[in-house]
Amino acid sequence: MTKTRSRDQGLGRARQAAGNGSGGVRRSWPLVLLSALLVALAVPAALLVAPGFLGPEPPAPAPPAPAWQQVPTALSPVPGLAPPDGSAPVPLPSAVSAQLEPLLTADGGGTFTAVVQDALTGQVLYDRGGSEGRVPASNMKLLAAVAALRVLGPEHTFATRVVAGPAPGQVVLVGGGDVLLGPGGSKKDQVMGHAGLATLAAQAVEALQTGGATGEIKVLVDDSLFSGPALNPAWEPGDVAAGEVAPVYSMALNSARYDPAVTTGPRPQDAAMTAAEEFAAGLRSAGAAAGLTVAAAVERLPQPAAGTTAPARPEGEGTSQPVVLGEVQSATVAEQVNLMLQDSDNYLAEALGRLTALADGLPGSYDGATAAVGAQLAAAGLAAEGMKLVDVCGLAMGNQVPARQFSEVVRAITSGTDTRLRSALDGFPVAGLSGTLDTRYGDAATARGAGLVRAKTGTLNTVLALSGYVVDADGRLLAFSFIGNGLTPGAAGNKEALDRAATALAACGCR
């Protein structure tokens, strides 16, 4: 047995040695083919896996953005209203009516009146009770703006002065109609606070030093520029208590607010004295280094009895003029008008009304203001028959003005012949963006009007109004006025009705 196994092993070794020839080559082919297959599969797999180690391939450069998407290289010019395009088609009145009639529906009680006009020609495109007298709320400020710009002029300013008092050691702060005074330094780039009482106090200290003043200085205040009641008896006491307005004086800090950013709530009830006390504090601070002291109490300058000589005014009528110790100038009338319209500032509107009356030779009172506004509208051909004005800010429920008058006033501002009125264009709030329209036009029904509708708002308990202008889808400039009276207080659908109607005009290709 042992020999047999040895023999078999020898035969196996002999066959193995023989297999190292052509038989060995045949058995190696499968290995070669397998290796080639693995290489073929490994190359694409490597291409797929490699980015995980090497990072993604850099993207191809994006094509350049169009010009209107490029970052600007310079500031654009101040936006304004381009001249009306007379070649744009005028909407068909029937088409405008079809758009607006379903929208101007009161939510609850009350009714809407409305007028839409082609701004360039005056053609009436829609009229629903447009000649009826209505309570217009703050749309009244459009009338006050026109009157102020016509009488005072867009570039006019108002001076607040400090003059030498009637007795040694006295100085008089004289109100010249600026109710936007700031407590600090003058801020020439702002409307509110353009003239600062701290700047005025520093001027007065320098003048007093130059004049050799010593001892205690007494501050008096002369606010006699305005006359008549400080509060309009036509205003509701609740509106006054809520801070919608305050007693009107010929000078005030922050439009008679404690804080310019807080537009409701308690307000100074004697704005002139509040301003004078702030000036006295500034004079005390500035005068400390110069060795001047300032009396704590501030008093009004005694006014002469009827029939005697009145104290000299800042503009200087009379035979003798007091020595001017300091003076600061307000923002321009145009800037103040725009602020009044943007913020619907009742106090500023009433002050501008009285200043308009004084410049027109009328008393600086509520009656003088309404008379001056009415006279200027008549002189401009804008007065409506039966119009009744009891204030110029629109807070009183006794005002009666038709929608047609407001659309005509908007026409005069946007495209009339008196170019002074163009100064009011920047004052119209822009839908969804600025002023009293900044939080409106945000829903699906009105979003197409955002940025396009420009209009003055008006809001009282049962009154809503919207008067302004818009360029329609065909490029035609339209003036409009919508006024709702007798409305259900707080009904959300009423304000939405106004905004939808204005949006319909903006989207109108009404041919």
Catalytically annotated residues? 138, 141, 344
Number of residues assigned to the chain: 511
Task: Decide: helix, strand or coil at residue 116.
Answer: strand
Q: Which residues pair with 480 in a beta bridge?
A: 116, 468
Whole-number Å distance between alpha carbons of 391 and 397: 9
Phi-psi map region of 477: left, alpha, beta (phi>0 left; psi -120 to 50 alpha): beta
Q: Are 160 and 328 a contacting pair, CB within 8 Å?
A: yes
Whole-number Å distance between alpha carbons of 99 and 508: 8
Rounded to 10 deg, the angle between the 346-359 and 366-379 helix axes is 70
* H-helix segments, 289-396: 333-343, 346-359, 366-379
Q: Are 269 and 247 a contacting pair, CB within 8 Å?
A: yes
DSSP assignments along 6-51, one per residue: HHHHHHHHHHHHHHTTHHHHHHHHHHHHHHHHHHHHHHHHHHHHHH
> Cα dihedral sign for 401, 403, 407, 408?
negative
Q: What is the DSSP letter of 80?
A: -
Whole-number Å distance between alpha carbons of 263 and 254: 10
Q: Please report the beta strands in 336-472, taking only residues with DSSP state E, as ranges in sequence order.
A: 454-460, 463-471
Whole-number Å distance between alpha carbons of 347 and 181: 13
**Residue 476 contacts by C-beta under 8 Å, 6 or more apart in sequence?**
84, 85, 88, 89, 90, 91, 118, 120
Task: Decide: helix, strand or coil at residue 154.
Answer: coil
- What is the amino acid identity at position 462? T
**H-helix or E-strand spanning residue 281:** helix 271-288
**Residue 366 contacts by C-beta under 8 Å, 6 or more apart in sequence?**
228, 229, 232, 350, 353, 354, 391
Separation of first and last alpha carbons in the chain:
120
Residue whose tokens read 């818009």: 470
Whole-number Å distance between alpha carbons of 139 and 144: 9
Whole-number Å distance between alpha carbons of 418 and 427: 17
